Amino acid sequence: MLSLSNIDYITLVQVIFIFLAGGMVKGLIGVGLPTVTLTLLSFIFDIKDSISIILLPIILTNLYQMFDGKFLRKIINDTRFFLISSFIFIFPGFYFLTIMKSNMILFVLALLLILNSFLSLIKYEIKLKNYRSKSTQFIVGSMTGLTTGITSIYTMPFVFLIQSLKYSKDQVIQLMGLAFFIFASMQFVLFSSFNMINLDKLILSSISCVPILAGVYFGGFLRKKLSEILFKKLFNYMLGLMGLVLILKIIF
Question: How does the average pLDDT of the chain come out, rounded?
Answer: 87
Rounded Cα distance, 56 and 62, in Å: 10
Whole-structure pTM value: 0.86
Q: Which residue has the higher pLDDT, 30 or 117?
A: 117
Q: Mind giving me the DSSP string for 202-223? A: HHHHHHHHHHHHHHHHHHHHHH
pLDDT at 235 over 90: no
Is residue 40 helix, strand or coil? helix
* Cβ atoms of 20 and 213 closer than 8 Å: no
Question: For 93-127, what is each residue's pLDDT tens digit?
Answer: 999 999 999 999 989 988 888 888 888 887 777 77
Q: What are phi and psi of 203, to 5 degrees?
A: -65, -45
How confident is the model at residue 5, as a pLDDT?
A: 60
Q: pLDDT band at 218, cuts 50/70/90?
A: confident
Neighbours of 137 (CB within 10 A): 23
**Which has the minimum average pLDDT: 25-29, 40-44, 112-116?**
25-29
User: What pLDDT, on the 0 to 100 scale, is given for residue 228?
Assistant: 67
CA distance 201 to 166: 39
* 168-217 confidence digits (pLDDT tens): 878 888 998 999 999 999 999 999 999 999 888 888 888 888 999 899 88
